[in-house]
């Protein structure tokens, strides 16, 4: 959506810890404006240099700090919307408490532009972290990773900002295309990238992260761990994580899934999906990474070595059915943070309860009776 002329930060209220911003402001500029005011806007994703806050809010973007701050929809206090009939709803309230009826803004957040056009928003701001700790941890399997998540949450509370799972195959693939990236602890099956932040400058956080990881090592939950000793090392670890999608793109044909399941079912999901896919597409390569702390994985497949791209991509529907049927059986979602758009409308028909689809269509009919807003998307 072309809203680049809506490019102003209208106001920053540091006492209320809010920012009022127009929809076309790039996410990186929103983060920058918050930092200039001594505060933090925590939404962060690889596309932050190119995407706009209006796009982030209309897709309810997730990113790397959902564990602590929530999805985009949880970072919004008010919206300004242009409705399908051309009227403007000014809901730019900066209130953390407002129980005056339906929370209408939530209808527009995550609705991918199908119910109204977001022109401005009041965003929540947070204290800037003054102390951070970033660790790269080797684990034997995903069950150990999930148990380690529990230990880290207990030890660090809501200072645990990010908890990413990365397979060893992802590291190999990414370093094949970006050889300058590090391989901090080679030789294990799975890795975790753990980020913890504290707003206090004199925080004991680094020592607490070290102690929690030492416990995990002695209990056998972790096999090895490396803690970044500088901001530059922390950035390198995150670079390794953030370059996985681009490396997979360079590698060739791929079939991508952005799924979520309850964290407690993640290990079961991975073993059952692999068993079924190994059977269906012999030699398929797995590129599995994502936000384990949120129960959200990018469960991507690459063509077996030597397979032609068209031959592999012909398997897309089959692979999708295996993955999404299993996700549904485990109480998960076929689209955790990437939305529905046009591509996943068929999955809506298959996996959403008829009553949910009916309610969505009635809302669409009420707010956009002529179907002029993003026709053919979502419902
Ligand atoms: C490299 C890369 C990494 C990414 N990583 C993540 C990630 O980690 N987590 C995550 O959740 N997502 C991720 N994404 C997807 C990302 O959430 C979306 O691309 C981004 O939030 C959308 O912003 P945009 O400005 O690009 O929107 P667009 O692509 O322009 O629009 C997205 C949709 O929203 C609608 N829309 C746009 N603006 C408005 C508006 N103002 N009002 C109403 N509707 C509107 C559009 O019509 C379209 O349907 C990634 C994307 C890329 C390319």
Residues 79-106 pLDDT 10s: 999 999 999 999 999 999 999 999 999 9
Atom of ligand 1 nearest to the CA of 27: 25
pLDDT score for 361: 97
**What's phi and psi for 250, nearest 5 deg?**
-65, -30
The residues pairing with 3 across neighbouring beta strands, listed in sequence order, are none
Please tell me the residue having the least CA distance from ligand 1 atom 33: 112
pLDDT tens-place values along the chain, 379 residues long: 778 899 999 999 999 999 999 999 999 999 999 999 999 999 998 889 899 999 999 999 998 899 999 999 999 999 999 999 999 999 999 999 999 999 999 999 999 999 999 999 999 999 999 999 999 999 999 999 999 999 999 999 999 999 999 999 999 999 999 999 999 999 999 999 999 999 999 999 999 999 999 999 999 999 999 999 999 999 999 999 999 999 999 999 999 999 999 999 999 999 999 999 999 999 999 999 999 999 999 999 999 987 788 999 999 999 999 999 999 999 999 999 999 999 999 999 999 999 999 999 999 999 999 999 999 999 9
pLDDT score for 198: 98
Expressed in angstroms and rounded, the spacing between residue 332 Cα and the centre of ligand 1 is 22
pLDDT score for 101: 95
Please tell me the residue having the least CA distance from ligand 1 atom 7: 63
pLDDT score for 63: 87
Atom of ligand 1 nearest to the CA of 291: 8
Expressed in angstroms and rounded, the spacing between residue 235 Cα and the centre of ligand 1 is 24
pLDDT score for 308: 83
Pocket of ligand 1 (CB under 6 A): 1, 3, 23, 45-47, 51-52, 54-56, 58-59, 61-63, 112-113, 117-118, 245, 337-338, 374, 377
The residues pairing with 195 across neighbouring beta strands, listed in sequence order, are 134, 162
pLDDT score for 88: 98
The structure tokens listed for 205 are 């956080």
pLDDT score for 328: 98
Expressed in angstroms and rounded, the spacing between residue 338 Cα and the centre of ligand 1 is 8
User: Which tens digit of pLDDT belongs to each residue from 243-299?
Assistant: 999 999 999 999 999 999 999 999 999 999 999 999 999 999 999 999 999 999 999
pLDDT score for 14: 98
pLDDT score for 220: 95
């Amino acid at each position: 959506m072309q809203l680049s002329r809506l490019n102003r930060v209208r106001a920053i209220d540091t006492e209320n810890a809010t920012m009022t911003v127009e929809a076309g402001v790039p996410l990186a500029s929103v983060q920058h404006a918050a930092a200039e005011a001594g505060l933090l806007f925590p939404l962060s994703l690889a596309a932050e240099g190119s995407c706009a806050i209006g796009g982030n809010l209309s897709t309810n973007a997730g990113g790397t700090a959902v564990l602590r701050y929530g999805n985009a929809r949880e970072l919004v206090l008010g919206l300004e919307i242009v409705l399908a009939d051309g009227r403007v709803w000014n809901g730019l309230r900066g209130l953390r408490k407002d129980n005056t009826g339906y929370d209408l803004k939530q209808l527009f957040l995550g609705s991918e532009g199908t119910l109204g056009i977001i022109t401005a928003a009041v965003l929540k701001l947070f204290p800037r972290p003054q102390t951070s700790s970033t660790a790269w941890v080797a684990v034997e399997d995903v069950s150990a990773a999930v148990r380690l998540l529990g230990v880290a949450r207990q030890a660090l509370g809501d200072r645990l900002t990010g908890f990413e799972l990365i397979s060893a195959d992802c590291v190999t693939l990414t370093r094949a295309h970006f050889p300058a990236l590090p391989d901090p602890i080679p030789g294990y099956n799975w890795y975790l990238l753990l980020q913890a932040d504290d707003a206090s400058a004199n925080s004991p956080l680094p020592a607490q992260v070290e102690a929690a990881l030492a416990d995990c090592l002695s209990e056998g939950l972790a096999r090895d761990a490396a803690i970044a000793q500088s901001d530059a090392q922390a950035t390198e670890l995150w670079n390794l994580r953030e370059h996985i999608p681009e490396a997979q793109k360079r590698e060739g044909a791929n079939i991508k899934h952005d799924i979520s399941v309850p964290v407690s079912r993640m290990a079961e999901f991975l073993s059952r999906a692999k068993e079924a896919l190994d059977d269906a597409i012999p030699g398929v390569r797995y590129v599995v990474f994502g936000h384990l702390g949120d129960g959200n994985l990018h469960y991507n497949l690459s063509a077996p070595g030597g397979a032609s791209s068209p031959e592999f991509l012909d398997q897309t529907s089959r692979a999708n059915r295996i993955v999404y049927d299993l996700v549904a059986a485990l109480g998960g979602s076929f689209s955790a943070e990437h939305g529905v758009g046009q591509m996943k409308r068929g999955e809506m028909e298959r996996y959403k309860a008829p009553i949910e689809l009916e309610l969505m269509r009635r809302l669409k009919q009420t707010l956009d009776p002529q179907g002029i807003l993003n026709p053919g998307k979502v419902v």
